[in-house]
Amino acid sequence: MIWDLLGTLYSVIELINLVFILVVLLSGKNPARILSWLLVLYFLPMLGFLLYLFFGINWRRRHIVRKLRATSDWLPETTANNVENPDPQTLEIQKKKSVLTIARVTTRLPVSLRNRVSPLSDTQAIMNALREDILAASHHIHMEFYIWELDDTGKELLLLLVEKAKLGVEIRLIIDGFGSRWVNKKNILRRLDPQGLIKIVCFQPVRLPYINLRANYRNHRKLVVIDGQITYIGGMNIGDEYLGKVPRFGYWRDTMLRIEGEASRSAQTIFFQDWHFISKEKLPRNKSYFPDELGKNLPKTIVQVVPSSPHGNWDTMAQLYFEMIASADTSLYITTPYVIPDEALMMALRTAAMGGTDVKLLIPSKPDRWVSYWATRSYLEEMLLSGIKVYGYDPTRFIHAKVILVDEVLASIGSANLDQRSMNINFELNAMIYNQDVVAEMTRTFEDDLKHSHEITLEMIQKRRFDQAFFQAAARLFSPIL
C-alpha cells in the first residue's frame, strides 16, 4: 500500500516536472537560463519544480514594471536639476566619456560636479560616521537597506532614529521584506517605536514566514540621505555581523562612500522614487529636501549616482560594468564577494587581461552563500589562463565590498556584485567617481587588502580535490539563475 502510494506520488511529481519543463521552454528567457533550469528540473525531479516556483517564475514582474514605469514618469520632476549641463572637460572624463554617457542615458540623472567624497573601508568607522551625521541631522533622515538585523547594532541605530524623531526630524526607512523579515512584524516595531514616529515601508513583504515566492526583484540598495546634503552609498548592511561581531566571519571588510554635495540631489531623487513606488506617496519637491546652491563651496569631484532596476530598455549595471572593463587600458582592480559573469562580461574580462591590462580580482576565501561561492570558483581557471590575477582574502576575515577601479581615473562603489542577479534582477545602486585623488585613495586601500590576501595560482586550481571540482562544476550549471 505504501509503495503504491509512493509510486503514485512520484508519477504525479514527474507529471508536474514535465509541465514545468514545457513552461521553461516557452518562457522566452535567454538560452543559458533555459538550459540551466532544464538541467535543474531533469537532475532534481523531486525538488526542481519547487526551486523554479521560488526562483524561476517572475511572479511579480509585470506588476513591478508597470509601477516602476509610472514612477519613472514622475522622476524628472524630482531631480531639482533639469538643466542639461555640458560635460566637464577633465582628464578623467576625457578618458571615460563612454562610461559617463551610458550612465546618463540609462538613468536620466544629471552629472554632479561639486562634491566632497570620503571612501570609508572600515565598518566601525562607517557606523561611527553615520551616527555622527544622524545626530547632526536637522530636518530629515532617509534610509534604505536590504538587510537590517534587529540585533544589538540594529536596535541601537533604530532607537537613535526614534530619539531624533522625538526632536522633530523626519525619519523614513525603506526595508526589504526578504532581507529584513522583522519589518512585517508590527509588534516588534511597536516595542521599539511605541509612538510610531518613524515611517517605515516594506519593499515586497514576505507574508509567510518560511515560504517566499518573491525571491526575485529584491531591493538590494544601501542608501542614506541626510538633510538633502549628505549621502551614504555602498555595500554595507546594518547588523552585528557587519561590524565583525559574529565569529563565523570575523572582521568584516566593506566599503561605503560618504558624499557631501550635489550628488545628494540624485540620491534623494532615487529615494523619492523608491518611496513612491512602495507607499504611493509623492514627497514634496521643496528646498528642505533639495537645498539650493548645494555644494557651492565644495571641490570639483565628479560623481554620478547610478540606480538599476529590472525594467525599462536597458540593463544599466551590466552595460556599465561591461564598458568599464572594455575601456580599461592600464589597470582594472575589482573587489567583490560574488563573480558570476555572463558570457559577455567574461569575454570582456579575459580580453582586457590578454590585451595587457593589469587585471586583479579580490574575492573572499570563505563563503557566506555556498552555491555562489562554488560558482565563483568555477570561473577562476579560465580567468587565470587569460592572465587575470586572482587573490583570496584572509580566511579569518570576510570581504563584502563591491568596488571597481579603472585606469586610476574611475571608481565604482555600491551594492551591485559582478553576478547576474545584480545585473538583471535586483534593484541596485552604485556611485561612479571620476576623480584621480579619490581613485588613488581607494587604490591604496585595495593594495592594503592584498596584503591580507593570498594569490590564487593556476596550479592551485588545477590541483583542487575532486569534490571541490565537482561542487564547482555543479554550481556553474546554476550560474545563469543565481
d(CA 464, CA 301): 46
**Where are the extended beta strands (E) located within 60-130?**
112-122
d(CA 352, CA 428): 25
- Say if residues 39 and 477 touch (Cβ distance below 8 Å): yes
Catalytic residue, candidates 96, 140, 220, 276: 220
d(CA 259, CA 117): 5
d(CA 6, CA 69): 48
Beta bridge partners of 219: 427
Catalytic residue, candidates 227, 274, 342, 394: 227
Beta bridge partners of 223: 144, 233
Catalytic residue, candidates 96, 142, 164, 222: 222
**DSSP-assigned states of every residue in 18-61:** HHHHHHHHTS---HHHHHHHHHHHHH-TTTHHHHIIIIIS-TTH
Is 151 noted as a catalytic residue in this protein?
A: no
Other Cβ atoms less than 10 A from the Cβ of 47: the count is 13
Q: What is the DSSP letter of 183?
A: G
d(CA 394, CA 267): 34
Catalytic residue, candidates 96, 402, 419, 449: 402
Query: Which residues, including other chains, have CB under 8 Å from residue 45's CB and lie 6 or more apart?
Result: 13, 14, 17
- Say if residues 345 and 318 touch (Cβ distance below 8 Å): yes
Is 358 noted as a catalytic residue in this protein?
A: no
d(CA 308, CA 426): 8
Catalytic residue, candidates 274, 400, 419, 449: 400
Is 240 noted as a catalytic residue in this protein?
A: no
Catalytic residue, candidates 122, 407, 419, 449: 407
**DSSP-assigned states of every residue in 262-316:** THHHHHHHHHHHHHHHHH------STTTS-TTTTTTS-EEEEEEEEE-S-SS--H
- Cα-based torsion angle of the residue sequence 183, 188, 193, 196 in order, rounded to the nearest 10 degrees: 60
- Say if residues 400 and 253 touch (Cβ distance below 8 Å): yes
Is 329 noted as a catalytic residue in this protein?
A: no
d(CA 204, CA 281): 16
Q: What positions carry a catalytic annotation?
A: 220, 222, 227, 400, 402, 407
